[in-house]
Amino acid sequence: MAGGLLVGASRTPSTTDALAGTGRAADTAVRPPFELIPAIDLLGGRAVRLTQGRYDAATVYDDDPSAVAARFAAIGVKRIHVVDLDGAKAGRPVQAESVRRILAAVGRIPVQMGGGLRTLEGVDEALSWGLDRVILGTVALRDPELVKRAAAKHPGRIVVGIDARDGRVAVEGWTEGSEILAVDLGRRFEDAGVAAIVYTDIARDGMLTGPNLEATARLASALSIPVIVSGGVATSADVVASARLRDENICGVIVGRAIYTGGVDLASALREVEALL
């Protein structure tokens, strides 16, 4: 399936009120740059996309994820998001070789990865491959102190992944739900040195129905940690709408299926975002 990626080839925050009862709003003093971040999900060594996190609803888009990453790099992206779906289910990184090939293909472009990182040793190893940042999801709920230790050891390189259905956190590759609210989980990492939070609305993920910007903005306004939009982006208009929230503590948007199906032309969307910044 190599060569099936539908993307162009040329390169070309006022803060909302905090959630009721939180007593804090996002600090607007310093903001990281807003980033449009294309996603590569790895399953069995191939680039795939899931629908609502269901492993039985995977669509294969390319047999060579490193070639996909190289095309993203040629377009001019500033960061690439990689998920080891096999690792997310196994509880340990599985796609190390695929990740290394991606890193080799994109040179100095920062790559962040999540999926299966549950120990400090695993975090250390993944960062040693050359990743810019790693994303901790399940362990953020199971062992928040480990996340804090990782953030202290690797300043600016730890991202917390919060995946939620109806505002409640799901873990273990989205196969298990919980009663923990996303905002409550996010609050556990205030002042811990976490670089960002990736917030994914699972109900929107892979559905091309538009991201849940309302819920994401509520989360972002309740925290000082910058938040990245994820799940459901369908068009360049969704990308632009996310970028318009950059002053609301939103620091990026992850785009997956829409790039592969042609709903978002990556080169054009990058130009639109850059025009806003």
- Indicate which residues carry an active-site annotation: 41, 163
DSSP state of 19: P
Return the half-sphere exposure (C-beta side, CA atoms, 13 A cut-off) of residue 6: 11
> Following DSSP, what letter does each residue of 225-248 receive, concatenated?
S-EEEES---SHHHHHHHHTTGGG
Amino acid at 50: L
- Whether the Cβ atoms of residue 87 and residue 116 lie closer than 8 Å to each other: yes
Return the half-sphere exposure (C-beta side, CA atoms, 13 A cut-off) of residue 231: 23
What's CA 19's distance to the chain center, in Å? 23
Rounded Cα gap, residues 138 and 160, in angstroms: 9
